[in-house]
A and B are shown apart, each in its own frame.
Chain A
Amino acid sequence: MIVIAHAVMCLLVFAGPSDEPGTGVDTQRFPPPDFDSGYTLPVTTTPAPRAELLMYLDMSLLLVTLSLAAYLALKVRNRKALFTLMAFSLVYFGFYREGCVCPIGAIQNMTLTLFDKAYAVPLVVIYFFVLPLAFTLFFGRAFCAAVCPLGAVQDIALVRPVTLPAWLDHALGLLAYAYLGAAVLFAATGSAFIICEYDPFVAFFRLSGSFNMIVVGLSFLLISLFIGRPYCRFFCPYGVLLRWLSRFSRWRVTVTPDDCIQCKLCEDACPFGALDTATPEEAPLPGGRDRKRLVLMLVLLPVLTVGGALVGSRLGEPFSKMHARVRLAERIQQEEAGLEEGTTESSKAFRDTGEPVAALMNEALAIREDFVTGGWLLGAFLGLAVAGRLLRLSVFRRRRDYEANRAGCYACGRCFSACPIELERRKPGGAAAAGIDLREYQR
């Protein structure tokens, strides 16, 4: 009996609070009493966070859903199956996991760990960041197809697709580059995680959120009824990385399982503007005007890059106000100079710590310098992105068939069902069995 009691005691000691103490010393104004009535002190409860074991469930489910998405999009070529997987991802990664951890937000954790020596990123975040990118290099954007809960919300909401004019589509698409650049800048300087702060759908996943978040989310949802995946196409910063990588993917979605018969039926099937049409036979070869345009764009490339960098360097200082320490330093400076009366919560908290003001000023100046450097780079990056897009649009390339755009295709599977050859392929005892070669009807 004693042995058991001892064992229990040991266990209790072992399982006792292993939590880190706060930093500081308590002042005991009133000594704790010695009770005569046999009163025992209650214990402060510490409810545990989500079990770490479940983290491995998330990790394996990401691998499974990515593999399934790639298999369904490239091999099975079935929109219904992809849709089912998408709905599952929405329920699990969206509503059950409430949108966290997600690869989109992981960009910021990865950036912060690259720039901040003190920040060690959890392995699960690295995994979530890298795995969809690696998959994209081989199978195209399988992550967007049926794994990302944000994509799933918008894809399912799309009921009456409207085609945007190409110029608008391309112009809006550049917003994502700005969003990515800004997110990296703010994460690298340790100022804010704007991707998470302005995540439009996380309020739905949690069924709770601030008024602004819900308004933004609702507007995105309303827009996605008509415009296919507005967040993915025009804002998603992770989508930019996926675009780059999927250009070089080993395998990718093809509209038709066989030779294209140029029936043009798939043209309207893609609601995301990611279907490249075949060049008409009679299309003229690029003439002098097109060449001039290409040369102009080549000249514009360095001009826009340098110009962007110059503009960006100006933005560094105002952007640095996103950092709490810079804001605090400015406030303290104003208080010292007598420009502001009284204190704010943060300036009072700072003064109570007794830290020297000079150290804070130096810290803020260093952060601001980082911002100016970051501003240069951000501006140059955006200039390059704009110029690159213009350049790509000026290059004439003859396309024989209707193809899914390598960068823009989300592998949603809508174009399959529009292709008559695909429909024949699926039919048991279809054209192939009947011995009809659809290619005879080509052109």
Chain B
Amino acid sequence: MEKKKTILTRRSLLESGVRGACLLALGGVAGFAVGKARRSELVWQLDPYKCVACGNCATYCVLAESAVKCVHSYPMCGYCELCTGFFDPDPRALHTGAENQLCPTGAIVRTFVEDPYFEYTIDEKLCIGCGKCVKGCKTFGNGSLYLQVRHDRCKNCNECSIAVACPSGAFARAPAHRPYRLKWMNQSG
């Protein structure tokens, strides 16, 4: 019995030594990380200027209906009658008939404002984030239609599946208090 006790003590001493070392190591790693940590959480967002509107946002999101949707920067919009984000490249007629529209789900609402201007708004419930309108608007128009991760929908995965599939590296983590990268802030002219 006596002998058993001494063995136990030696063992437990060694054990607490290792435990202390482990705690120190853990503290060290945590300390290093805290040293360069940030207070706020990170969320995913895409840079509309790097976005090439490839369509991956619509298909690669873990959600069945992507968290990425088209948004519209109204101050940048030309309110064109022939909107290249709304209409097919070669529309039969300039009206809202489905055969003329670029959007596969009819998510862009075209409303008459005053001659010759039309307002285009996104119906987010219908938008699937495919970026077809973004491409059209960017190529021939002002680029006022662009994609953004909508944070009411985004699950904020540790690694965003769309970011992995993004061909242009447009996705990056952003601090949670500045969760959008909006386009209207750096207009030129």
Instruction: Check if B178 sits within 8 Å of A21, measured CB to CB.
Output: no
| 20 intermolecular pairs with C-beta atoms under 8 Å apart | A18-B178, A22-B183, A25-B186, A26-B142, A26-B143, A26-B183, A30-B142, A33-B78, A39-B113, A46-B179, A110-B33, A120-B38, A122-B37, A133-B26, A134-B23, A197-B164, A345-B54, A345-B168, A349-B54, A349-B169
Is the C-beta of B1 less than 8 angstroms from some C-beta in chain A?
Answer: no
Is the C-beta of A308 less than 8 angstroms from some C-beta in chain B?
Answer: no
Measured in the bound complex, the distance between the Cα atoms of B179 and A121 in whole Å is 16
Instruction: Check if A123 sits within 8 Å of B183, measured CB to CB.
Output: no
- Greatest chain A CB density within 10 A among B30, B75, B79, B158 is at B158
* Chain A residues with CB under 8 A of B22: 137, 245, 248
Instruction: Check if A130 sits within 8 Å of B26, measured CB to CB.
Output: yes
Is the C-beta of B156 less than 8 angstroms from some C-beta in chain A?
Answer: yes
Contact of A52 among B64, B73, B176 (CB under 8 A): B176
Instruction: Check if B19 sits within 8 Å of A137, measured CB to CB.
Output: yes
Q: Please tell me the size bucket of the interface on B.
A: 35 or more
CB-CB contacts of B29-42 with A at 8 A, as 1s and 0s? 11011101111111
Measured in the bound complex, the distance between the Cα atoms of B34 and A121 in whole Å is 8
Instruction: Check if B167 sits within 8 Å of A345, measured CB to CB.
Output: yes
Is the C-beta of A281 less than 8 angstroms from some C-beta in chain B?
Answer: no
Instruction: Kindly identify, within residues 31 to 79 of chain B, every residue whose CB is under 8 Å from any CB belonging to chain A.
Output: 32-34, 36-43, 47-50, 52, 54, 56, 62-64, 71-79
Is the C-beta of A126 less than 8 angstroms from some C-beta in chain B?
Answer: yes
Measured between C-beta atoms, what is the minimum distance from B130 to chain A in Å? Answer: 14
Instruction: Check if A49 sits within 8 Å of B158, measured CB to CB.
Output: no
Measured between C-beta atoms, what is the minimum distance from A4 to chain B in Å? Answer: 27
Measured in the bound complex, the distance between the Cα atoms of B113 and A203 in whole Å is 45
* Chain A residues with CB under 8 A of B90: none
Is the C-beta of A341 less than 8 angstroms from some C-beta in chain B?
Answer: no
CB-CB contacts of A248-277 with B at 8 A, as 1s and 0s? 111000000000000000000000000000
Question: How many residue pairs bridge A and B at CB < 8 Å?
Answer: 223
Q: Chain B interface: which of A61-69, A97-105, A169-177? A: A97-105
Measured between C-beta atoms, what is the minimum distance from A331 to chain B in Å? Answer: 10
* Chain B residues with CB under 8 A of A19: 178-182, 185
Measured between C-beta atoms, what is the minimum distance from A318 to chain B in Å? Answer: 18
Residue of B nearest to A30 (CB): B78
Measured in the bound complex, the distance between the Cα atoms of B121 and A24 in whole Å is 24
* Chain A residues with CB under 8 A of B63: 206, 208
Instruction: Check if B180 sits within 8 Å of A17, measured CB to CB.
Output: yes
Instruction: Kindly identify, within residues 101 to 118 of chain A, every residue whose CB is under 8 Å from any CB belonging to chain B.
Output: 101, 105, 108-110, 113-114
* Chain B residues with CB under 8 A of A346: 167-168
Measured in the bound complex, the distance between the Cα atoms of B179 and A50 in whole Å is 11
Q: A130-B30, A345-B52 are in contact. List 16 more A-B contacts (CB 8 A).
A: A19-B179, A22-B50, A30-B78, A33-B79, A42-B74, A42-B119, A46-B180, A105-B158, A110-B33, A120-B36, A122-B38, A134-B23, A248-B16, A346-B168, A348-B167, A349-B54
Measured in the bound complex, the distance between the Cα atoms of B33 and A124 in whole Å is 11
Instruction: Kindly identify, within residues 32 to 54 of chain A, every residue whose CB is under 8 Å from any CB belonging to chain B.
Output: 32-33, 35-37, 39, 41-50, 52
Measured in the bound complex, the distance between the Cα atoms of B18 and A245 in whole Å is 9
Measured between C-beta atoms, what is the minimum distance from B166 to chain A in Å? Answer: 8
Is the C-beta of A23 less than 8 angstroms from some C-beta in chain B?
Answer: yes
Contact of A108 among B18, B32, B158 (CB under 8 A): B158
Measured between C-beta atoms, what is the minimum distance from B2 to chain A in Å? Answer: 16
Instruction: Check if B177 sits within 8 Å of A18, measured CB to CB.
Output: yes
Is the C-beta of A344 less than 8 angstroms from some C-beta in chain B?
Answer: yes
* Chain A residues with CB under 8 A of B164: 192, 197, 324
The 3 A-B pairs with the shortest beta carbon distances in the complex, nearest first, are: A24-B49, A30-B78, A346-B167
Instruction: Check if B158 sits within 8 Å of A101, measured CB to CB.
Output: yes
* Chain B residues with CB under 8 A of A299: none
Measured in the bound complex, the distance between the Cα atoms of B37 and A18 in whole Å is 21
Instruction: Check if A42 sits within 8 Å of B177, measured CB to CB.
Output: no
Measured in the bound complex, the distance between the Cα atoms of B142 and A24 in whole Å is 13
Is the C-beta of B110 less than 8 angstroms from some C-beta in chain A?
Answer: no
Residue of B nearest to A42 (CB): B74
Instruction: Check if A100 sits within 8 Å of B74, measured CB to CB.
Output: no
Contact of B168 among A43, A121, A349 (CB under 8 A): A349
Is the C-beta of A55 less than 8 angstroms from some C-beta in chain B?
Answer: yes
Measured between C-beta atoms, what is the minimum distance from B145 to chain A in Å? Answer: 11
Instruction: Kindly identify, within residues 85 to 132 of chain B, every residue whose CB is under 8 Å from any CB belonging to chain A.
Output: 113-114, 117, 119, 121
Residue of A nearest to B34 (CB): A126
